[in-house]
Amino acid sequence: MMKKINILQFFLIIILIVLNNSCRKDIKVDLPEYKEKLVVEASIETGQPAIVLLSNSVPYFGNFDFHHPEKAFVKGAFVTVNDGITIDTIKELDPNTGYFYIGTKIIGQVGKSYHLQITVNGKNYSCDTYINPPIALDSIFFKGELHDTLGEMYAHMHEPLGLGNCYRWFATRLNKDLYYSAPFSSAFDDKFVDGKDFTFFYERGAQPNATEADSKDPYQGFYKVGDTVVVKFCTINRKDYQYWYSYYRNKASNGNPFSSPTNIQSFMTGEDVLGGFFGYSPSFDTLVIKKK
């Protein structure tokens, strides 16, 4: 005796048949030919010389060995920074390696403008920046989120009235970290906080060139009781903020099929170049995280 099929089962069978027999079409995407670009991350901050990091971009679908990043470093570039009075020829820290160039004559000052000029492989690149007056935080504090011993750094500030201020957050742990690190989405503007008192927080950013051991740290992103944390809170230019905002949006969209791709805004002049010259005006706060 044939088993009866109810109306719901009938429609489910019809839908499955239709889906199974739907037209299929293979889609071939023609990717544009890869073109190498010079990558510039240059900065000058109050009380410090100019620092310029130079490398070449690498193809996403290439065979670059990321265990040897020095293969992308740029050596032998002629780099200068000009403050309108003095021209500082920026020297390679290690000419055998390249990548890291540091100034010796010009020290960053609030209220001054600087012009960066780079010549490499017969091509010229340039960018300008300015160091704004610093805007300090009112206070910083630690708030434990996990077992009261792990948490994030919080800050309170009164944001000055007048749209257009932009900021970037860095922090380091004394006797633990080698560098000030910026957490994800470390730059923000005053669009929603102009003239207001507000509180915000950041997790611990990864150290530059973090080792595999660092990446497997179970406390990654957290500060903990016993840490001594120095926060470097920087006032930055509008174009610097736009660069970092686009950088973080681009990074967030990688591997996310539901996000819109975002191009990184570059403020370097010249052909086939990506990056910028950033002016930082920092203020510093130190907190020893103690048990309650």
Strands (E), the chain: 38-45, 49-56, 78-82, 87-92, 100-107, 113-120, 123-130, 139-146, 150-158, 166-173, 187-189, 197-202, 223-224, 228-236, 273-288
Per-residue pLDDT tens, the chain, 292 aa: give them: 445 555 555 556 666 665 565 556 666 666 667 788 999 999 999 999 999 999 999 887 777 776 778 888 999 999 999 999 999 999 999 998 899 999 999 999 999 999 999 999 999 999 999 999 999 999 999 998 777 789 999 999 999 999 899 999 999 999 999 999 999 999 999 999 999 999 999 999 998 876 655 667 788 899 999 999 999 999 999 999 999 999 998 888 765 555 566 688 899 999 999 999 999 999 999 999 998 7
What is the model's pLDDT at position 2? 46
- Range(s) for CATH 2.60.40 in the chain? 38-130, 139-254+281-288
Triad 166, 172, 175: Cα angle to 5°: 165
Distance CA 137, CA 232 (A): 10
Fold exhibited by the domain 38-130: Immunoglobulin-like (2.60.40)
DSSP 161: S
State residue 107's pLDDT score. 98
Edge-to-edge order in the sheet of strand 100-107: 123-130, 113-120, 78-82, 87-92, 100-107, 49-56, 38-45, 273-288, 228-236, 166-173, 187-189
Rounded to a whole number, what is the distance in angstroms from the first to the last CA of the chain?
77
CATH topology classification for 139-254+281-288: Immunoglobulin-like (2.60.40)
User: In angstroms, rounded to a whole number, what is the distance separating the alpha carbons of residues 119 and 251?
Assistant: 29
111: which 2 tokens? 């209220």
Confidence at residue 69, expressed as pLDDT on a 0 to 100 scale: 80
